[in-house]
Amino acid sequence: MTTTEVGRARLRKEDAHLITGRSKYTDNITLPGMLHLAMVRSPFAHAKITSVDTAAAKSSPGVVAVLTGADVAAEQGSLPNVWPITPDQKAPAFPSIAVDEVAFAGEVVACIVARSAAAARDAVELVDVSYDELPVVMDLEEAFTDKVLAHSSLDSNLSATWVFDSGEAGTGKPIAAALASAEVLIERTFYQQRLIPAFMEPRSIVVDPTSEQITMWSSTQVPHILRLILALTLGIPESKVRVIAPDVGGGFGGKLTVIPEEFITLMAARRVGKPCKYTETRSESLQAGHHGRAQVQRLKLSATKDGIVTGLDVNLLADMGAYLGLIGSGIPILGAFMYNAIYKFPAYRLECNNIFTNKAWTGAYRGAGRPEATFAIERMMDELAVELGMDPLELREKNWIKHEEFPFTTVAGLEYDSGNYEAATAKALELFGYDALRAEQVRRRETNDPVQLGIGISTFTEMCGLAPSRVLGALSYAAGGWEHAQVRVLPTGNIEVITGSSPHGQGHETAWSQLVADRLGVPFENVEVLHGDTQSSPRGLDTYGSRSLTVGGMAVLAAADKVIEKARVVAAHMMEASQEDIEFADGKFSVRGTEQSTALGEIAFAVFSAHNLPDGFEPSLDSDATFDPQNFSFPHGTHLAAMEVDTETGQVTIRKYVCVDDVGVVVNPLIVEGQVHGGLAQGIAQALYEEAVYDDAGTLVTGSFVDYLVPSAPDLPHFTTARTETPSTTNQLGAKGVGEAGTIASTPAIVNGVLDAVRHLGVKDIKMPCSPSRVWAALEEAKMTGGVQ
Amino acid sequence: MIPSAFDYAAPATVAEALGLLAAAGDDVKLLAGGQSLIPVMKLRLADPAMVIDLGRIGELSGVRDDGDALTIGAMTPHHQIATDPLIAAHVPLLAKAAATVADPQVRHRGTFGGALVHADPAGDLPAPVLAAEATFILAGPDGERRVAAADFFQGYFTTAVDDGEILTHIRVPKYTGWGAHYEKFTRVAQQWSIVAVAAMVRVEGGTIAEARIGLTNMASTPLRATAVEQALAGAPLTRETIAAASAHAAEGTDPASDLNGDAAYRRHLAEVLTKRAVIAAAGL
């Protein structure tokens, strides 16, 4: 393959229409006769619904219909959970419109269908719902005690307990012996605060029921999965549902789900027989879209006195919120394989308890389980370094897998195919100026500078390229992890690529065009990428888990290779040569040892006309491929943060941020850079800014962007980013995935840096987000309790 | 995000606006720049039957030199306050505070008078106006009346403006030659002040001759840090004296507790930020 496109920092072909306002988001869609929906939502976090009076709303001007839970009880079914992590996993029924009981504030209790969005909104206030309030359980640790139940239909808040034990799995030693014989034992509890994905485009749905095949446009990451779930849940033949994800303005996992509003809009449209649209407000999005993280992590780390870790025991409480979303139950499990991170731990055990509370349900949020794991272990490595009085980098190096030890089977049972932690770390240290910053840190401490300096380290890895279908099966996930692509050769030699990876901002159109342009030797501009419509791309498993390039991209390449093999047959026939003598390069087939050649475009037209093809040749070059990865890919990197803490105010500032990521072979460096920057912003946001806060009654206090603090450009530093390139050996491109790397790595780097700045003042831990008031309170508490450790 | 239906009028003069206001009854809101009113209407936290838009009344906008004071039209946008040469010369504190309000879009739409009448305790303009001992000029059915800044702010989102009245102008004495600084503390760049301190100082030789200190978000209204002002008056211009004086900043305050910090943290911040504001205003 002649490479001219792979590795090229092309501007994205998607961007022109997005940045000039020619985008087509779902809410931009208007259909003839379209009606508008508005939702009546419960103000209570837990209550019995005693009556729903819709009379006044129904007679409000412009209102066409009002649907209650009782109205749709027979058809709505229950939103599915497709990841039963244990055979005895418990889940309450999850109706789209609550019928008898609501279990979180924001749950839909009725839906208005009206001729305008304003009329629908006006009528919301006219629906009179009577509630009998029930006790709420908001705190995760309290929920685990079962003193208050989140659902009256369940006898416990425990959904499932999932255990991995390296001794039992045969991947390592038993943990009990490691802990019992520990020379040093570190025990810590970390709180992964609840986060809100806060994608830029709120969720929006349009349903057209006027044809035999119902069409749904939805701002979703997963149109293919949505189509299947709609069919299964509502009993509609799958072939009678078409789902389109048009331009989708971000997701971050928040649209890796199916939502009540999708079902409600479809049911409403079928009832009234007219197209219907629902677009949530930002407040609704924050309140009733799924949230992420929300775990309590209790860890025990055993080590020798010279800093060799001998075992890790993890006990998780994972907040499911009020219901099990599509894959919410499995998110902590995605992290379960990453607590050992880049290290050679000999013994490991993890127990995860999935717990219900009266909060919005949880699901994937950028990184999905892996940021939680990475945070915990990278914090623990710093804690151990402090305990041992050892440099935190030296401690990591003592325990990490050396580059010559790959492939390496970890204590969690994964086979890491490749990596070079030494190279990434060395490069990061050089860019960071580690020694100079350490010297400045000493100086500031000695002069008692009001602004103290800390250095935070995070050496992370993650599992990407979700996922080998057999592995998903072993984890009881209902679907596979393959991806589909089709490459179509038009008569002119132009190429259409159909991908099952439905993007929502990643730049697939550009990257896939680069892949195909190289492989088929056609100009980048001649490749068109189609996606996000189950009619044009009927097979797919969509975009999440940094899987698109390593799984979907491989499918594209495999389909392109099939095109070449088909065209080779025709080329041999046209040039009257043997197939074995035909070579393909730069878009041309040539006969070895001769000047004779024919271009792919000429073959394309010959196949189109089909006048003179080899006997038995099916007149088409179009090819399908479905790629099922044999292993995950394992990007890694070293992130270093220099953090300034103003000890007078508690204000935290990022002085310098350096990251060296190894994401394997890069198709488009510009896209990779963008993914790293965005990922860093979200990981930093968890460390310093964002938290979904509920009051004791169950109301979301951070229900708008006034209180839910998403950082913007002025709040973030200049990022120094660089890469090392250790190719993955599990796919032919050598790519690893980059969508989540920045988010996973940055949170512990920032918090480790904050603590490093103030640990000498007696501060031992600060809960995330490390807000100024929390940092100041921690400093005050340290003063009260005697300061220096 | 759709407000309830409402009637709308856009008068061209203050007299016409007063007439509409008188006729509209209780359920009416005046629309200035709309940067607070429109969001609360969209959230349906307010649903006035009528909205009177002051945006077309030319006489309400602009900055005028009145000798010993500047008279600022209530509809003057924040951006103009932040960049106006008269304000920069004579009350630079206002310019500095206005430049910290929200983002550029809001500063071009939002108005000086609108923000003052809205009287959000976390808003950035009330404390500087209070520190500057401004006078509020109100037009009402019985003519004009003047209210001192000290009497204007009465509680959360509550001012001395009565039903049927319109704030037309704010008269701000000149502080020509004074040093000024607005020290605003937030967690992210675009956020209401957690605490902020407005400081003006007049330095003579090596001495602080006079100081005016206003506190943002330290009570339901903006406050004067009078104990700090007294401690600074006549004090030598050193960091130490400023720090000592600033230790009085939280006296008489009653800050709220919220997600950004509890009352104790805000009291502490008031002291630190006062010290920093005065040091910056004095040019130390």
What domains, with CATH codes, occur in chain B?
A: 7-53 (3.30.43.10), 62-172 (3.30.465.10), 181-282 (3.30.390.50)
Question: Which A-chain residues 273-292 have CB contacts (< 8 A) with chain B?
Answer: 281-283
CA atoms of B4 and A446, how far apart (whole Å): 61
Supply φ then ψ for residue B64, to 5 degrees: -125, 140
Element (H, E) at A779: helix A772-784
φ and ψ at B209, to 5 degrees? -75, -45
Name every residue whose Cβ is closer than 8 Å to that of residue A135 and which is 6 or more positions away in sequence: A46, A148
Q: Which of helix, strand or coil describes residue A330?
A: helix
Q: Which of residues 101-160 of A touch B (CB under 8 A)?
A: 117-118, 121-122, 125
Q: Mind telling me how many Å the CA of B63 is from chain A's nearest CA? A: 31
Scanning every residue of chain A, which has its alpha carbon at the shortest distance from the alpha carbon of B268? A649
| Chain A interface disruption, residue of B4, B40, B43, B187, most A CBs within 10 A | B187
Chain B environment of A689 (Cβ under 8 Å): 187-188
Contact A776 B268 (CB under 8 A): yes
Cβ distance B269 to A711 less than 8 Å, yes or no, reads no
The residue of B269, B276, B279 whose CB has the most chain A CBs within 10 angstroms, and thus the best one to mutate to test that interface, is B269
| Bridge partners for A486 per DSSP | A498, A624
pLDDT of A2: 57
Q: What is the dihedral of CA A541, A542, A547, A552, to 10 degrees?
A: 80
CB contact under 8 A, B5 and A281: no
Residues of A in contact with B187 (CB under 8 A): 688-689, 709, 771-772
Mutate: best of B42, B239, B272, B274, partner A, most A CBs <10 A: B272
Tokens for A86, please give them: 């244990």
- pLDDT beneath 70, residues of chain A: 1-3, 787-789
Asked if B265 is an interface residue toward chain A (Cβ–Cβ < 8 A), one would say: yes
Q: In chain A, which residue's Cα lies nearest the Cα of B193?
A: A706
Residue A8, Cβ density class (10 Å: 0-12 exposed, 13-18 middle, ≥19 buried)? middle
Kind and range of the H or E element at A574? helix A554-574
A709 vs B44: CB contact, 8 Å cut-off?
no
pLDDT band of B245, cuts 50, 70, 90: very high
Chain A contact probe: residue of B268, B273, B274, B276 with most A CBs at under 10 A: B268
- Kindly report the nearest CA distance between residue A40 and chain B, in angstroms: 14
Alpha-carbon distances, residue A222 vs A230, A535, A540, A752 (angstroms): 12, 14, 9, 35
CB A563 within 8 A of CB A625: no
Alpha-carbon distance of A123 to A65, in angstroms, equals 10
For the record, the structure tokens of A264 come out as: 């409600």
Domain positions in chain A: 417-464+633-789, 482-627
Query: Which string of DSSP letters, residue by residue, matches A183-231?
Result: SEEEEEEEEEEEE----SSPPEEEEE-SSSSEEEEE--S-HHHHHHHHH
Q: What are phi and psi of A271, to 5 degrees?
A: -65, -45
Q: Do B190 and A712 touch (CB under 8 A)?
A: yes
Q: Does B187 contact A118 at a Cβ distance shorter than 8 Å?
A: no
A484 Cβ neighbours under 8 A, 6+ residues apart? A499, A500, A537, A539, A540, A541, A555, A624, A625, A626, A627
Whether the CB-CB separation of A296 and A141 falls below 8 Å is answered with yes
Question: Tokens 């390229």 correspond to what residue?
Answer: A465
* Calculated CA dihedral for residues A107, A111, A115, A119, nearest 10 degrees: -60
Question: Which residue of B45, B188, B192 to mutate against A (max A Cβ within 10 Å)?
Answer: B188
CB spacing of B188 vs A649 below 8 angstroms: no
Number of H helices, E strands in chain B: 12, 14
User: CB under 8 Å to A59, separation ≥6 — which residues?
Assistant: none
Taking only the tens place, the pLDDT of each residue in B162-213 is 999 999 999 999 999 999 999 999 999 989 999 999 999 999 999 999 999 9
Please name the residues in contact with A447: beta carbons below 8 A apart, sequence gap of 6 or more: none
- What CA dihedral angle connects A161, A165, A168 and A174, to 10 degrees? -140
Q: Checking DSSP bridges between strand A214-218 and strand A241-244, what pairing results, if any?
A: parallel
Candidate from B2, B192, B262 with C-beta closest to A773: B262
**H helices present in chain B, as ranges:** 14-24, 37-42, 78-83, 85-90, 92-98, 104-109, 112-118, 126-131, 149-152, 226-232, 239-246, 263-282
Task: Give the closest of B259, B269, B273 to A707, CB-based.
Answer: B259
Query: Cα(A308)–Cα(A346) distance, rounded to whole angstroms?
Result: 10
A357 at interface of B, judged by CB pairs closer than 8 A: no
Facing B261 at nearest CB: one of A688, A689, A773: A773
Closest alpha carbon to A338 in A640, A754, A741: A741
**Residue of A533, A508, A512, A536 lying closest to A524 (CA atoms):** A512
pLDDT tens digits for range A534-592: 999 999 999 999 999 999 999 999 999 999 999 999 999 999 999 999 999 999 999 99
- CA distances from residue B160 to A188, A218, B113, B146 in whole angstroms, order as listed: 55, 50, 13, 10
Pairing of strands B50-53, B7-9: parallel
Spatial neighbors of A740 by CB under 8 A, at least 6 apart, are A366, A367, A368, A370, A371, A462, A464, A545, A546, A679
**3-class secondary structure, A297:** strand
Confirm or reject contact between B268 and chain A (CB < 8 A): yes
Q: What is the DSSP string of B191-202?
A: S--SEEEEEEEE
Residues of A in contact with B120 (CB under 8 A): none
Please give the distance of CA A711 from its chain centroid, rounded to a whole number: 19
How many beta-carbon pairs below 8 A join chains A and B? 55
Q: How near does any CA of chain A get to the CA of B62, in Å?
A: 30
Asked if B175 is an interface residue toward chain A (Cβ–Cβ < 8 A), one would say: no
In this predicted complex, what is the ipTM? 0.96
| Chain A: closest CA distance from residue B261 (Å) | 5
| A169–chain B nearest CA distance, Å | 45
Q: CA-to-CA distance for B277 and B201, rounded, in angstroms?
A: 10
Distance CA A424, CA A404 (A): 14
Question: A238 and chain B: CB distance < 8 Å anywhere?
Answer: no
Residue contact B5–A122, C-beta within 8 A: yes
Closest residue, chain A, to B265 (C-alpha): A773
What CATH code would you report for A482-627?
Answer: 3.30.365.10
Chain-chain contact of A715 with B272 (C-beta, under 8 angstroms): no
| Cα–Cα nearest to B214, from B101, B120, B114, B132 | B132
pLDDT in tens, B141-161: 999 999 999 999 999 999 999
Q: How confident is the model at residue B243 (pLDDT cuts 50, 70, 90)?
A: very high
Contacts of B2 in chain A (CB under 8 A): 117-118, 121
Nearest to A715 among B188, B261, B269 (CB): B188
Query: Is B226 at the interface with chain A, CB within 8 A?
Result: no
Residue B280 to residue B284: CA distance in whole angstroms: 6
Cα(A336)–Cα(A349) distance, rounded to whole angstroms?
Answer: 9
- Gyration radius (Cα) of chain A, Å: 28
Q: Do residues A141 and A297 touch, judged by C-beta distance below 8 A?
A: no
Spatial separation of the C-alpha atoms in residues A660 and A424, rounded to whole Å: 6
Mean residue pLDDT of chain B comes to 97
User: pTM for the whole thing?
Assistant: 0.97
Interface of B with A in 116-135 (CB under 8 A): none
**B272: buried, middle or exposed (CB in 10 Å: 19+, 13-18, 0-12)?**
buried
Chain A residues in contact with B259 by the CB 8 A cut-off are 693, 701-702, 707
d(CA A598, CA A29): 45
Put simply, the answer to whether B268 touches A117 (Cβ < 8 Å) is: no
For A708, the token pair is: 């839910």
Handedness of CA A85, A86, A92, A96 (dihedral sign): positive
Contacts of B261 in chain A (CB under 8 A): 771-773
Cβ of residue A776 closer than 8 Å to a chain B Cβ: yes
Q: Which residues of A touch B43 (CB under 8 A)?
A: 283, 704
Closest Cβ–Cβ partner in A121, A771, A777 for B2: A121
Using CA atoms, how far residue B95 sits from A77, A331, A714, B79, B129, in Å, is 60, 50, 21, 9, 11
For residue B234, the 8-state DSSP code is T
SS3 content of chain B, % helix, strand, coil (to 5): 35, 25, 40
How far from chain centre, in Å, is Cα A530? Answer: 22
Contact yes or no for B188 and A709 at CB 8 A: yes
Q: Tell me the chain B residues in contact with residue A772 when contact means C-beta distances shorter than 8 Å.
A: 185, 187, 194, 261, 265
Residues whose CB is less than 8 angstroms from the CB of residue A171 and which lie 6 or more positions away in sequence, other chains included: A348, A409, A410, A411, A412, A413
Residue positions counted in chain B:
284
Phi/psi-derived region of residue A332, left when phi > 0, alpha when psi is between -120 and 50, beta in every other case: alpha
What pLDDT was estimated at residue A789? 44
Closest chain A residue to B42, measured at CA = A281
* Topology at the third CATH level for domain A417-464+633-789: Aldehyde Oxidoreductase; domain 4 (3.30.365)
Which residues on chain A are in Cβ contact (under 8 Å) with B1?
281-282
